[in-house]
Structure 1
Amino acid sequence: MQSLTPPPFKLNIKRGRKLPDASGIANYLARNDKISPLLPSIKRNASLQKECAAILPGVFDSCEVLQLADEQLSLAAPNASLASKLKQTLPKLLAQLQLRGWQINAIRIKVQVRKTIEKPSPVKQLVFTSSAINAFDALEHSLDDTPQNAELRAALHRLVQRNQV
């Protein structure tokens, strides 16, 4: 007997379309005389960032590797609270990085507060018609004046007051 269940979901992947090649970016960076000397340190910092995030996944999500110079690693934390939490885990981080082959003897933490962009308040999108406002008003007045209905009546009253034209 055949099953009546539908076939499993199939992805419709179009073949033949080429994805952008990252080697073009790497070639540009390698040819650019001003950027090419920075490429090894950028790669080193990126791999250090991955290593640190793997060692301390919960703590290191918001932190960054700033630089590695003279066997001293500089890390950036977004606030003092996270910096102190990171400071408590430094012995573990240092030991794990040394086990993974990094030539690091000291780790320094800098608090670097990032500039936060204030989110604009959301614009009111829902507009009630006058008949809807009248229906909410009628509902508020039709409810019994009991303690169980007090919060609902107050909410309906605020909704009607906010949406009066």
Structure 2
Amino acid sequence: MFRRMRFNSFNSSNISVKRRTAVGATDFLRRDDKMAALLPAIERMAALQKDCATALPAMFKYCEILQFEDNQLVLSTPNAALAAKLKQQLPKLQETLARRGWQVHGVKLKVQMMKAAEVKEQMRALFLNEAAISAFDSLSDSLEQSAQNATLIAALKAMVARRREG
């Protein structure tokens, strides 16, 4: 009645895992004539992006090349502040690219979010030894029981409880 459907001919006892690499991707793209025609342009843009990142590594962490035609380079920046800083560094960028063989006569900046910029820094975990925890515990016990101190006392007791649990 029901026929078993097989979607792939994969033998679980004979699995060979191949790592996917950039070389594997380019080999795949070279097999298709239409995709193979795009490879030189892709490689050229990747080389230009790499040279820009080498010239200004801190700036190009979140910047990308949008276009490079007629010796005009168009870059994307995630915000106006980075665009202003990058604008000051454009002569250095153009000079470095010229030394590497790129003829860049002009650079335009477009503010648009391309990569997710992680702005928030990770917080460090604060370590308190047992003497410090005991001092906070005794402080919470010694404070006057009033409406003004109630939230402070509750916060100190909660912190002491968390530190003693973990």
The TM-score bracket by the shorter chain reads 0.5 to 0.7
- Per-residue CA deviation, residues 105-149 of structure 1 (Å, 9 max, x unaligned), is 111111112486xxxxxxxxxxxxxxxxxxxxxx79x812259xx
Name the TM-score, length of structure 2 as normaliser.
0.59
Cα distance in 2, alignment partners of residues 57 and 50 from structure 1: 9
- What is the RMSD of the two structures over their aligned residues, measured on CA atoms? 3.6
Query: 1:64, 1:76 within 8 Å by CA — same for their partners in 2?
Result: yes
Cα distance in 1, alignment partners of residues 113 and 38 from structure 2: 25
Name the TM-score, length of structure 1 as normaliser.
0.60
Match of 1:154 in 2: 155
Query: 2:59, 2:82 within 8 Å by CA — same for their partners in 1?
Result: yes
Cα distance in 2, alignment partners of residues 22 and 86 from structure 1: 30
The one-letter amino acid paired with 2:42 is I
Shift of 1:22: 4.5
| Residue pairs, 1:133-148, within 5 angstroms | 143-145=141-143
Q: Secondary structure at the match of 1:113?
A: coil
Match of 2:119 in 1: none
Match of 2:98 in 1: 98
Query: 1:62, 1:77 within 8 Å by CA — same for their partners in 2?
Result: yes
Identity %: 45
Match of 2:28 in 1: 28
Match of 1:51 in 2: 51
Cα distance in 2, alignment partners of residues 90 and 25 from structure 1: 33
Match of 2:87 in 1: 87
Match of 2:60 in 1: 60
Q: Which segments of 5 or more consecutive residues in structure 2 lack a partner in the other structure?
A: 1-16, 117-136, 146-150, 162-166
Cα distance in 2, alignment partners of residues 18 and 153 from structure 1: 57
Cα distance in 2, alignment partners of residues 93 and 110 from structure 1: 16
Cα distance in 1, alignment partners of residues 29 and 64 from structure 2: 22
Q: Which segments of 5 or more consecutive residues in structure 1 lack a partner in the other structure?
A: 1-16, 117-138, 161-165
